[in-house]
Amino acid sequence: MSAASAEHVGARRAGTSRGLAAWLIVLVAVLAAGVGVWIYQYIRGLQITHMRDNVIWGLYIITFMYLVGLSAGGLIVASSGRLFGVERFKPIVRLAVLEATVAIAMAAVMILPDLGRVDRVLNLFIHPHFLSPMIWDVTVILIYLVLSLTYVWLYTRRDLAARGSWLALGTRDTSEAARARDERTTYRLAWVALPAAVLVHSITAWIFGLQISRGFWYSSIMPPLFVTSALVSGLALVIILALVVRRFERISFDNGLVSYLGGMLAVFVAVEGFLVFCEVLAGYYPGVTTDASRQLFTGRYGPGFLGVEVTAGLIVPFILMAFASLRRRPAIVALASVLALIGIYAHRGNLIVIGLGKAPIQLAPGTPLGTPQASGSDFAMSSVYFPSGYEIVIVAGMFALAALLFTIGVWVLPLKEKGHGAGGLSG
């Protein structure tokens, strides 16, 4: 960073500090609302959600999957860039690693409001049952969280030490030789981080994909589909965050990188579309009229699948990013990224609500719901789920916490690479 640009940042900082304060206040307010509703939920029980014994899981698990995907995608992009020597990724690698770390930490937190007895969460460590994919997931998420934090520290500690920050955690050596050593260490770590990121979302997929009870989920395509959707959403979020953070001059890169990332997004979206098509065709082709895949096209969930997931989330971003002329415009790349992010969230939602929406034994009166119903019947053959206001506020609070952590990370951590050429990849 030149002295001139440092002054410029200083001037900008004064200008943006008021905006930053307002942003932080909004985030803290939303977080406080979320925590407040969570306390209310703890007192009243999960009856304040719209989940019941038919749609057993809802927005919390949908968001959990989404956050794991955002994290895995971010880290896969960062570490594959590192491993395969995609030198042009360098300006955004630290940002991507920070995004991955915040997202995985929030995924771990996101599980908690879904638990009926969150006070017993330590039973996961006291009485683990290793045949349960849930325990595999807890294990891999915690390992992955430690890995991500290590990554962030390794990438930033020399610069933190140069600033004299205590966040360097005892690191003092800021010499070029030490930096070169760290370069090699991060390179080696990428060999662990890349498979770990693939694994973390595969295991999340197996929570669903290994359950023979739910025909819509019981499929070997689930891990590849989850990893691909992680790549789409993780890359899309990294693009948006990179563009936003660049506006505040915490990182710098040229628009060529944006266009390059847009091209990658088009490839990932195309693979995602292919896998979704494979899954739907296999469900649809045999002509079983009650197969869950039929619900994707008609009725209550048609618009969510065909409209949001496929059209807005896959087709439009692909078309936008397929043309080099459109990819050159950062605003269009940002638009495609936002659409892809919405589409993947819809994919998570469709997976849960369609997978669970119908009573597996289709005999009247169906599945007991678990609370007395205004309709008079305590049972349902099938039901539609839309989250309650309480669920939405709690999840909004979690997203606010994620944004808060990310904002603090951006302001505290040196995200700019110190730009010492290609030698870094010699590891």
Partner 1 sequence: MTAEGATTYPGIDEVHPDLLKATRLGMVIDQQKCIGCWTCSVACKEENDVGIGLYWLRVLTVGGDNIDVPSGTFPDLALEYQSTNCFHCDNPPCVKACPVSATYKMPNGIVTVNWDRCIGCRYCMVACPYDNRVFNWRKPVQDPPASLVEVGNVPPRPKGVVEKCTFCEHRVAKGLEPRCVVACPVGARVFGDLDDPNSEVSTLLRERPSYVVFPEKGTKPSVHYLMRFSPNVAGGES
Q: At its nearest, how many Å lie between partner 1 and the CB of residue 224? A: 21
Q: At its nearest, how many Å lie between partner 1 and the CB of residue 367? A: 4
Q: At its nearest, how many Å lie between partner 1 and the CB of residue 122? A: 9
CA–CA distance from 417 to each of 36, 93, 147, 191, 405 (Å)?
A: 40, 9, 20, 21, 21
Beta bridge partners of 382: 358
Is the CB of 48 or the CB of 342 nearer to partner 1? 48
Is the CB of 64 or the CB of 89 nearer to partner 1? 64
Is the CB of 38 or the CB of 379 nearer to partner 1? 379
Q: At its nearest, how many Å lie between partner 1 and the CB of residue 66? A: 18
Is the CB of 158 or the CB of 201 nearer to partner 1? 201
Q: At its nearest, how many Å lie between partner 1 and the CB of residue 114? A: 7
Give the whole-angstrom CA distance, residue 15 versus residue 52: 49
Asked if residue 96 lies in contact with residue 74, where contact means CB atoms within 8 angstroms, the answer is: yes
Asked if residue 222 lies in contact with residue 101, where contact means CB atoms within 8 angstroms, the answer is: no
Q: Which residues, in sequence order, are CB contacts of 111 under 8 Å at separation 6+?
A: 60, 64
Is the CB of 5 or the CB of 371 nearer to partner 1? 371
Place of tokens 């895995």: 72
User: In whole angstroms, how large is the CA radius of gyration of the chain?
Assistant: 23
Is the CB of 45 or the CB of 389 nearer to partner 1? 45
State the residues that interact with partner 1 by CB under 8 A.
Answer: 44-47, 49, 51-54, 56-57, 111, 114-118, 120-121, 123-124, 126-129, 131-135, 138, 207, 211-214, 290, 356, 359-373, 378-379, 381
Q: At its nearest, how many Å lie between partner 1 and the CB of residue 209? A: 12
Is the CB of 11 or the CB of 126 nearer to partner 1? 126
Is the CB of 4 or the CB of 364 nearer to partner 1? 364
Asked if residue 219 lies in contact with residue 279, where contact means CB atoms within 8 angstroms, the answer is: yes
DSSP assignment letter at 424: G
Q: At its nearest, how many Å lie between partner 1 and the CB of residue 134? A: 4
Phi/psi for 121 (5° steps) reads -60, -25
Q: At its nearest, how many Å lie between partner 1 and the CB of residue 50? A: 10
Q: Is 219 helix (H, G, I), strand (E, B) or coil?
A: coil
| Region for 256 from its dihedrals, namely left if φ exceeds 0, alpha if ψ lies in -120 to 50, beta otherwise | alpha
Amino acid in position 420 = H
Give the whole-angstrom CA distance, residue 165 versus residue 171: 10
